[in-house]
Amino acid sequence: GESVGLHLPTLSVQEGDNSIINCAYSNSASDYFIWYKQESGKGPQFIIDIRSNMDKRQGQRVTVLLNKTVKHLSLQIAATQPGDSAVYFCAERDPGNTPLVFGKGTRLSVIA
């Protein structure tokens, strides 16, 4: 499959453990944040999003935490499965109707 990032930070997690992927964002004016998952050879797929008036949002097996004080976003994946192996991207958007700005991504590797 296509390699989407040869020099990305990598997180290795045992199957069944929880994963935490971190993202530092740069624009203190950003009011919308989103996480994507990209499997090898495929386009990015939406996981979960959060607006700046919230500090936590939960989905199915995933939780996003937002700390605006330190401009930090994290994605928590519960009971990590082999199918979770992928590159994960965070993105931010400011209120000025500008496009999303993507981070460089983190590769999650699940050890069976």
Residue among 18 and 45 whose Cβ is closer to other proteins: 45
Alpha carbon of 6 to those of 11, 19, 46, 81, 103: distances in Å?
Answer: 14, 21, 22, 22, 15
Q: How far is the CB of 9 from other proteins (least distance, A)?
A: 10
4 versus 65: smaller Cβ distance to other proteins: 4
- β-bridge pairing 56-58 and 45-51: unpaired
Contact 22, 73 (CB under 8 A): yes
C-alpha 45/C-alpha 23 separation (Å) is 17
The answer to whether residue 102 forms part of the interface with other proteins (CB under 8 A) is yes
List the x/- string, 7-36, binding to other proteins by CB under 8 A. Answer: xx-----------------------x-x-x
- # chain residues binding other proteins, by CB under 8 A: 26
Instruction: List contacts with other proteins (CB under 8 A).
Output: 2-8, 32, 34, 36, 41-46, 49, 89, 93, 97, 99-100, 102-105
